[in-house]
Amino acid sequence: MYKFDKLKQVLLASVIAGTTLYAGTTPNYQGSKTYANGKRVIDGGVVYPVKNGKTGPYYVNTQKKEFHYGRPATPNEIKAWDIDVMPDGTGLPEGKGSVSEGEEIYEEKCIACHSDFGAGMNGYPALSKGNAYELHKTLTNQRTTPDKDGPVRVFGTYWPRVSTLWWYIKTGMPHNAPMSLTNDQVYALVAYIMSLNELKIDGQELDDDYVLDRAKFLKIELPNKDGFVPNIDGPNGTDNVRKFLSDPKNYGNGTRCMQGCGKPKKIVRIQTLINDFLPPMSTKRDLPKEPQGKGSKSDVGAKIYASTCAMCHDSGAAGAPVKGDKSAWAKILKEGKDKAYDIAIHGKGAMPAKGGKPSLKDDEVKAVVDYLFDQAK
């Protein structure tokens, strides 16, 4: 919920993993605990002591005293996973990249999903809607009537820390080849996305020649840097959350209950419906009609292609040959299906093994290759 006078949004489960509205409440099992190490838990966790062979209504195996699953992670394994980037710069590597370099990388690897200039399309989020400083003011907007504009929530207007952008691009993008970008490429992309939002760094606008490095990165302040409560940054972050969630008035009606809550004093209903969608919203829940030849190898390949492969092979993202483009497939057709099978199953370059869906069987992947070969002839 918003505290509109201070442009703040309550930061709950979306940022603090596992946090629930019932954090700190006592479940209806006698003897349950809501404290750990002397402090109230903030993740919804509860310790259920074993009493008469039960934890609540459930029996437990009290004979087993030790469990030996797996082994402790090695220091190198822990280091490989410890790749998050914190707001204070912890975990942020050295590197540099210019706005113009970021634009080139964006057009090669990102535009297929996020569209020109980060406008977003087909369900993929917009990265910019214009000047972030001006649009940040829209976060107080409420659509009390259909003709009123709602808040613009994109990276520049809404995100409080740019470190999240760097980390997300590095570890998750492009979605079909995560962790494939170099640190310099990530810096360049961040610089380009900053420029799209018309953001400044230390008072300086980001033109095409602007080079972003680690030192400049640490000077970035986004318009919504203080837009969330509670403050989760720094060593007191968890205690801030604990204190905030200990007072249910911050996120509810002030009364905690799991049963026997009584009737609500007031039910707030939608006052203004927004239903003038163009095209009109569909309420149909019918499954699409099955194509002719149901069950055939070609049909199987077409279905898997649509759900798993179309995102890249329809657009050419990451250099993927576009379906039906005879010139793009000429060399692949010449090399033959056996080689195409091998690449599709085991992966090569930006092409992930089995299209990034390990659950596919080899025969299913081959069916997709057969389908694409048919489309390219």
Q: Where are the domains of the chain?
A: 96-217, 301-376
Q: pLDDT: is 166 or 261 the higher one?
A: 166
**Gap between the Cα atoms of 186 and 213, Å rounded:** 10
Altogether, the residues listed in the chain come to a count of 377
Burial letters 236-270, b for 16+ CB under 10 A, else e: eeeebbbebbeebebeeeeeeeeeeeeeeeeeeee
Asked which of 4-18, 69-83, 139-153 is least confident by mean pLDDT, the reply is: 4-18
Mean pLDDT, the chain, rounded, equals: 79
∠ CA 17-19-25, rounded to 5°: 155
* pLDDT band, very low/low/confident/very high, at 351 (cuts 50, 70, 90): confident
On the CB side of 140, CA atoms within 13 Å amount to 7
Residue 45 has pLDDT above 60, yes or no: no
Q: Indicate the class that CATH gives domain 301-376.
A: mainly alpha
3-state secondary structure of 51: strand
Q: How far apart are CA 103 and CA 189, in angstroms?
A: 7
Q: Please say whether the beta carbons of 138 and 250 come within 8 A.
A: no
Fold of 96-217: Cytochrome Bc1 Complex; Chain D, domain 2 (1.10.760)
Chain Cα centroid distance, residue 208: 28
**pLDDT confidence bin for 201, thresholds 50/70/90:** very high
Residue 211 carries which DSSP code? E
Does the fold of domain 301-376 match that of domain 96-217?
yes
Which of the residue ranges 171-180, 244-253, 262-271 would you say has the lowest mean pLDDT? 262-271
User: Which structure tokens are listed for 246?
Assistant: 């200990």
Query: Are the CB atoms for 87 and 233 separated by under 8 Å?
Result: yes
Report the percent of the chain where pLDDT is more than 90. 29
